[in-house]
Chains A and B, each alone.
Chain A
Amino acid sequence: NAGVMQNPRHLVRRRGQEARLRCSPMKGHSHVYWYRQLPEEGLKFMVYLQKENIIDESGMPKERFSAEFPKEGPSILRIQQVVRGDSAAYFCASSRTTGSVETQYFGPGTRLLVL
């Protein structure tokens, strides 16, 4: 049973470029969470999505950041016009449901470096 998949694992961008991060949840999981981890810090919630719906984006910056989880294919976190402060590890996690307590399983992360 494949775990949560993320790609790319490492991404280098110059300031002003776009970054696209992809996340495929575990089989049978329909809920995706994105978290950001700055160097030497904990994980901070960004956005929660179900298929074709953004449920909660309260942790995501209002400008330059967007997320989607289409009916087919992986969830994508998109960062436009990246700045150095966007350099971080971006983790996605998936769970089966949220009707009751459900464990979130994390992917390997994408480490974004903005030059």
Chain B
Amino acid sequence: GENVEQHPSTLSVQEGDSAVIKCTYSDSASNYFPWYKQELGKRPQLIIDIRSNVGEKKDQRIAVTLNKTAKHFSLHITETQPEDSAVYFCAGQEVQGAQKLVFGQGTRLTINP
């Protein structure tokens, strides 16, 4: 089955700087990679996703890149703001069977004012 590794586990950046979170996956057949943001005590919220037929996707200050050959994908947040502080999870979706999401371990992002 799929295995997703995420790093770093914690990340602290100054407000206005960029933040990058990286994930690797093991199953070359996986074709869908969402990113979720989870604030304390809240549900995971989808912030951006990418399918394997594209290499990059951008939505305002958030972008995701995918390298299928190397089996890794990254989340980029530019011009960070205090409200970006949260735990971010990457995931890969298995293509066989239940097509469940396999999550990374999470990155706690702190934006320092």
Which residues of A approach B to under 8 Å, CB–CB? 33, 35, 41-45, 48, 55-56, 58-59, 91, 93, 98, 101-109, 111
A8 to chain B, nearest CB (A): 15
Does B82 reach chain A (CB closer than 8 Å)? Answer: no
Q: Contact at A42–B103, with CB atoms within 8 Å?
A: yes
Does B57 reach chain A (CB closer than 8 Å)? Answer: no
B110 to chain A, nearest CB (A): 15
Q: Contact at A91–B103, with CB atoms within 8 Å?
A: no
Total A-B Cβ pairs within 8 A: 57
Which residues of B approach A to under 8 Å, CB–CB? 6, 31-32, 34, 36, 41-46, 49, 51, 89, 93, 97-106
- For B101, give the chain A residue with the smallest CB separation: A104
Contact (A103, B106) CB under 8 Å given A45-B100, A55-B98: no
CA distance A25 to B108 in the complex (A): 28
